[in-house]
Structures are given as structure tokens and as C-alpha cells.
Amino acid sequence: MKVEVYLTAKDTDDRLSKKADLELKQDSVREAAMVRADDCRTYQKIEGFGGAFTEAASSTLDKMSPANQEEILKAYFDKESGLAYSLCRTHINSCDFALGNYAYTETDGDVEFKDFTIDRDRKSLLPMIKRAQEMSDEPFVLFASPWSPPAWMKTTGMMNKGGKLKPEYFEAWARYYCRYIREYEKEGIKIWGITVQNEPEATQTWDSCVYTAEEEKDFVRDYLGPIMEKEGLSDVKIIIWDHNRDMLFERARVAYNDPEASKYIWGTGFHWYCGDNFDNARIHHEVFPDKQLLFTEGCQEGGPHLGSWDTGERYGKSMIHDLNNYTCGWCDWNMILDETGGPNHVNNLCSAPIIADTKNDKLLYQSSYYYIGHLAKFIRPGAEKIVCATTRDELEATACKNPDGSVAIVVMNRSDKEMP
């Protein structure tokens, strides 16, 4: 049986490089490190891998030459030369990686949405999404997250620095998601799922809104779920939490122990801005096996980190262990940022798999791009996670069986030891 080998390695030129094929054969040499993949048991079905369309990403794309714009989109969405992204995210209203605060209606008390418009998204964000759709050989799915309701709906009267949704606007805010989904549909963009709130436990200097676990559960049960169902949008997935792994199970427990709330919820989203806490995903699955787990955001914080190898290894570790703990999809944050790690309207600068040097029109591929590629390019939507085990602590591995019968095995060695 032929094995195709692709390699990314530090201190070499190998970056998702195709190496010589190998023949799979029996080998009883115990001195060699071994990785076993076995489809004797299957686990979760994979939704896909990808990254986020943000106003920061789209405005950075717009600053590059036509040739480099084409290269960026191919790098992510082309099946042959790129990573064939299949699961992507975008934001409802502004987020920190927008050029400033904005909402689709800024008019105080506009609960009928007379002034609702997505014209801001039409300038840059929507064109990027549409170009990506055209570039994709296979359609990708898109989920959307709000960072904050409009300022006039909040207790603080501002989008930044936390605050809560005013009770009198619960019903209008639930209808707001529906209106957003319908407006994107008119643009030819289907919203596959929504998260209730990005990082609902954090009062950030940027766009943010705080919900306790009880408040989020009640909002889904009494407003968002029933209103989406009434408006014919029950096929759109509702995802709770959308915050860190550390409190993943605790937040999910509150929502899923309420049957009336639980019936509307597809699954739980999570981020990595905490400790590893991989067991929390496993515990979530063991207690709530009918609910999905989706990694909805992760990036290297604190600037662009140009040339860092540790960034890629952080991605590889998370992706492998999340898949091994029942996660069905994995979504990076910004697809592209400029040389500063922005733009970001509150200077919350970060890295991205591709950094664009907008001053010199150059693309700087980071290690994270290649590490994502080892999973996104070879583990396709509809694949099933299968048994995977290694004989060395230094080797981290995962394996999936694709719908076409091929098996993708991803093996990472973060140590400095050679592993024959």
C-alpha cells in the first residue's frame, strides 16, 4: 500500500513538502518509533478546518497587489496549491479586528430595524468572502459570531468594555441574528451556524458583552432558539460558550441540563487562551455525547511573531489533541494581518498564518500556515476520526479516515530527538 509523505521541519526547506512515497509493510523492529492507525473504531465526524474573515483581514488584502491577493486566496482555498479551507468564521457587527466600532443599525431604539444595513460589510469583508467562494473547489461553511450588540442595546451604552444586553432588547437582539443571516443570504452567502456571543465571560477593552452561564442559557431557550425556529432558520447551528477550554464543561453543563434550552443548541465552541485543558473536551463528550465540540478561535497573541517556530507547534499541539478529544472542527482566527499584526482598533495586535508586508507588497508565510495545512489539506469534511496511538511520548499523532477511503495520519515531533 502506497503512503504519500508530506513534511514540514524546522531548519530545513521542507514546508508541506511532498517527499518520496513509502510502502506500508509489516515491521517488528521494536527499536523504531511506531504510530498505529486503525479504523476498528470510529469517533466524531469532521466538519472541517479553516480561519476567519475579518475586516482587518479583508482591508489588509485590499492593500496588496492583484497578484498577491490572488496568491493569498489560493493559499487558503485552492485544493491543489492551497489548504482547501472548509470551515470559516466571520463577525456580526464589529470585533477588535475591525477598523472601528460599528453595528448594522446605529439608531437608538430601532427594534424594527428600519435603518438596518450591511453596507459596511460590502466595502471589503463581503468581497473577500465572495472571492474565496469563487476560489474554492469545494464549498466551505461559514459561521458568524457577535462581539457586541449595538451600543444602544447595552447597559453601558457602548460596544467596548463589556456591559450586558438590556432585558428589553432580548427579543430584538434575537431577531437581529435572523436579519443578519437573511441579509447575507441575499448576497449569496449562507450562514451555517452562529455562536451566541464571542467570549461571554470577558470584559475586554474592545467590543464585548458579558453573559453568565444562566443568562446565555435563558437567552437561547426563551428568545434566540424559538425566534430562529419561527423565522425558518432552525437549520442554522446554534453554538454556545465560544470562550476558553478551561470553563468549557462548566458552561455547557448549565445549558444542556435544561432540556428546553438544550434542544436548540448544536454544540459548544471554545478557544485556547488558557491552559491546555484538553480533558475538558473529552469530559464534555462523555457527559453530552450528542453535542458537538468546535474550536472556534485561536491565534498567537502579542504581535506578528515573524519567523517563530513555536507558533506553529502551538497550533499543531492544539489541533492534534483537540481532534483526539472529540472536536469536530478547528477554526483559526484572522487569515491575514499586516506587518504590525493588525489593523486592530484597540491595538490588540496578533499573528496570522500569513503576514502581509503592505509597505513592500510581500507575503510572509508563518509556521502556523504549514502546521494548519497538515490537517486542513488532508483531513476532509465528512472524515471520521479513527484510532491512533504512538510508542513514544515525543510523538503526538492523530488519524482520520476520509469519505474516499484514504487515511490521513498526522504525526508531530516537537522534541529535538530524531525518531526513526
Place of cell 507547534: 313
How many angstroms separate the CA atoms of 304 and 406, rounded? Answer: 36
Instruction: Let me know if 55 is a catalytic residue.
Output: no
How many angstroms separate the CA atoms of 370 and 308, rounded? Answer: 12
Out of 47, 55, 199, 216, pick the active-site residue: 199
Out of 47, 55, 216, 297, pick the active-site residue: 297
How many angstroms separate the CA atoms of 105 and 11, rounded? Answer: 51
Instruction: Let me know if 134 is a catalytic residue.
Output: no
- C-beta separation of 113 from 149 below 8 A: no
How many angstroms separate the CA atoms of 324 and 46, rounded? Answer: 12
Residues contacting 378, CB < 8 A, separation 6+: 6, 408, 410
- C-beta separation of 43 from 326 below 8 A: yes
Q: What are phi and psi of 313, to 5 degrees?
A: -65, -35
- Per-residue buried b or exposed e for 147-156, using 16+ beta carbons within 10 Å of the residue's own CB: bbbbbbbbeb
β-bridge partners, 3 = 22
| Cis preceding linkage at 403, omega within 30 | no
Place of cell 470585533: 95
Residues contacting 412, CB < 8 A, separation 6+: 313, 316, 317, 320, 395, 396, 397
The sign of the CA dihedral 185, 187, 189, 192 is negative
Catalytic residues: 199, 297
